[in-house]
Amino acid sequence: MADLQKLFDAADPRIREVWHQVETQLSKELQYSMFGFRDEMAEIKDTQFEQVSGLGIAGLTGEAEPYNREEKIPGFKTTITPIKFTNSIPITEELIRFTLKPFDKIKDLVGDLGNSIHARIDTNAAKIFYLGHGTTYFTDGSGEALFSTHTLKDGSTQSNDLGAIPLSYDNLKTARQALDRMRDDKGVQLMKTRNLRLIVPNELEERSKEVLRSIGNPDNANRINNVFANGQGSIDLRVADWIPNSSTYNKRWYLIDMDRAARMTRMMWGWKPRFDSDKIINNGTKIYTGSTSFQPGYIAHQWAIGSSATT
């Protein structure tokens, strides 16, 4: 047993170095931050957030009259609780002793473990969008679906649900204009969007590029340009690889404002992906584990607009 312990003690630093290399590479390829989610580490398990309205537009004030004073309106309180996800791999003494180039095999195993953990992160981030037309995955404190008709604190309503309209040049214009008209809970229109991002599944990548270049519109010298990049703002494109390839989801599309998303979304971490192992060797096998604890969420809806298109 002592000899077996020495074998694993000698191998363990190299195994952990393989994880470090895998984690460094995979962390660069994560997609969730490209979808607007802002990282935040949880200090308590059930962290609450509250979106607060602006002050509203300044009022006319005459000479010697008192200055206007307005109260901000608090929004709904939203709780975002990180959830733990895990997986594991066995590494046996036979693999270390008898496999030709054992660390090539170990690198494959550790890579599979890293892929498993990182895929869960991006999969759950994508769910905020493609499951956002319902309330089964996540809602803010209002209890309303992300993409729905929302009741504001001033009693008025507004919608960021485009229905099932397909992605097209005209429909993307409609989405951009609707985002520009979003209001806060005080009923005051938000600042105009400047930094927009179109998010689509793999099956809409080619169509999205055509739409952004306005292909299909009357021919002119500027037809191949991104007509939404007009000097005052722009729309770029990101493909969400983890939106499922099913007829229900693979034609859905979403437009988000990255500046608003930085204020209104969170990727709430209990801990980022980490690697560990059992302290005991059982039947010549040591179990290495990967885990993470996180939850993507949002505290208001005005950062996004979406379509549940099926064509």
Q: Each residue of 256-266: pLDDT tens digit?
A: 999 999 999 99
pLDDT at res. 55: 59
Residue 175's alpha-carbon distances to 32, 169, 178, in angstroms, are: 22, 10, 5
**232 has pLDDT over 50:** yes
Sign of CA pseudo-dihedral 9, 11, 12, 14: positive
**219 has pLDDT over 50:** no
Q: Name the fold adopted by 2-53+74-307.
A: phage-related protein like fold (3.90.1690)
- Give percent above pLDDT 70 in the chain: 88
> Average pLDDT, stretch 194-208?
95
Higher pLDDT pick, 218 / 244: 244
State how far the Cα of 147 lies from the Cα of 159, in Å rounded to an integer. Answer: 7
State how far the Cα of 269 lies from the Cα of 74, in Å rounded to an integer. Answer: 25
Residue identified by tokens 């500027």 is 222
pLDDT at res. 9: 83
Please state which of the ranges 33-37, 55-59, 111-115, 152-156 shows the lowest mean pLDDT.
55-59
Please state which of the ranges 35-44, 83-92, 225-234 shows the lowest mean pLDDT.
225-234
Query: Which tokens in the block code for residue 187?
Result: 């009923």
Q: Which helix (H) or strand (E) holds 277?
A: strand 265-277
pLDDT at res. 6: 84
Sign of CA pseudo-dihedral 244, 245, 249, 254: positive
pTM of structure: 0.86
Nearest CA to 197 among 224, 226, 157? Answer: 226
Q: At what angle do helices 2-29 and 102-130 cross, to 10 degrees?
A: 40
Query: Which tokens in the block code for residue 49?
Result: 């957030």
Q: Which helix (H) or strand (E) holds 39?
A: strand 39-41
Residue 8's alpha-carbon distances to 17, 102, 103, 170, 286, in angstroms, are: 14, 13, 13, 62, 8
Question: Cα Rg for the chain, rounded, in angstroms?
Answer: 25
Please state which of the ranges 139-153, 213-227, 275-289 shows the lowest mean pLDDT.
213-227
Average confidence score pLDDT of the chain: 88
Return all residues near 253 (Cβ < 8 A) that are at least 6 apart: 167, 198, 199, 200, 204, 208, 306, 307, 309
